[in-house]
């Protein structure tokens, strides 16, 4: 009983520290997934950011027209035409339908899905997933070689999905290395784009 209380206490402390750190970073160095008006830390061109934003809003609009609940239950990120989906749905058919709609978005280059079916996770596994995500986000923030605000992290049943942009190959390597130190993380599924590989940088 005492051991469980210590674990719960540690869990909430890590969540609190991670939230405070991330909010501080978000206000001072806005990146791909930051908030605010600054785009200084977003390696995409302004035109690319506009295109990605249009794709994101287009897909979300079509999902909401299909099922209003998707507006809240599904999260969409778009980077250089690459769509990343996360969230939870009630039935497997819904996941397939959402993925299909994503692929039908004009200008899409790829679709990665971390959508899970409700009932496949429980409170205990969800708590562990939140802890893993918080630990990894905190590790990114403290690693000076990583621009934490340029990455989106989702963990489901011990599998961590990382979606974002690395400025260099070394930064991408640092991101992967940080995952090796996270307790309870079973598998890492990275979708990390290098700045040099952005479509408009190849023209």
Note whether residue 6 is domain-resident: no
Opening angle at CA 125, ends 122 and 126, nearest 5? 80
Q: Is pLDDT at 32 greater than 70 in this prediction?
A: no
Taking the CA atoms of the chain, what radius of gyration do you get in angstroms? 17
Q: pLDDT tens digit string along 120-165? A: 777 788 899 999 999 999 999 999 999 998 898 988 888 899 988 8
What integer pLDDT is reported at residue 27 of this predicted model? 36
Note whether residue 10 is domain-resident: no
Nearest to 73 by CA among 85, 59, 62: 85
Note whether residue 202 is domain-resident: no
With beta carbons less than 8 A apart as the criterion, state whether 161 and 132 touch: no
Note whether residue 50 is domain-resident: yes
With beta carbons less than 8 A apart as the criterion, state whether 97 and 111 touch: no
Q: pLDDT tens digit string along 80-111? A: 999 999 998 998 889 989 999 999 998 898 89
Q: What is the pTM (predicted TM-score) of this model?
A: 0.67
Written as six digits, the tokens of 67 are 């099922």
**Structure confidence at residue 50 as a pLDDT band (50, 70, 90):** very high
Nearest to 69 by CA among 99, 98, 45: 98
Q: 10 Å Cβ neighbour count for 151? A: 22
Distance CA 185, CA 128 (A): 9
What integer pLDDT is reported at residue 33 of this predicted model? 58
Torsion-angle region of 150 (φ positive above 0: left; ψ -120 to 50: alpha; else: beta): alpha
Place of tokens 């280059």: 109
Note whether residue 172 is domain-resident: yes
Q: For residue 91, give its domain range.
A: 17-197
Place of tokens 């809240």: 72
Note whether residue 114 is domain-resident: yes
Number of domains in the chain: 1
Q: pLDDT tens digit string along 37-48? A: 334 467 888 888
């Amino acid at each position: 009983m005492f051991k469980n209380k210590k674990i719960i206490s540690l869990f909430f402390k890590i969540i609190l520290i991670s939230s405070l750190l991330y909010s501080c970073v978000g206000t001072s160095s806005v990146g791909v997934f930051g908030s605010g008006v600054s785009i200084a830390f977003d390696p995409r061109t302004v035109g690319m950011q506009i295109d990605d934003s249009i794709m994101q809003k287009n897909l979300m609009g079509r999902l909401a027209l299909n099922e209003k609940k998707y507006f809240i239950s599904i999260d969409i990120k778009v980077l250089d035409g690459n769509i990343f989906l996360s969230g939870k749905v009630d039935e497997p058919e819904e996941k397939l339908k959402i993925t299909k709609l994503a692929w039908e978005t004009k200008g899409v280059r790829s679709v990665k899905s971390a959508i899970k079916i409700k009932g496949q996770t429980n409170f205990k596994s969800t708590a562990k997933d939140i802890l893993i995500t918080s630990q990894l986000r905190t590790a990114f923030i403290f690693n000076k070689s990583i621009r934490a605000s340029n990455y989106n992290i989702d963990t489901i049943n011990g599998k961590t999905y990382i979606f974002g942009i690395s400025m260099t190959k070394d930064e991408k390597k640092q991101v992967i290395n940080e995952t090796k130190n996270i307790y309870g993380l079973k598998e890492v599924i990275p979708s990390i784009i290098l700045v040099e590989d952005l479509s408009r940088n190849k023209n």
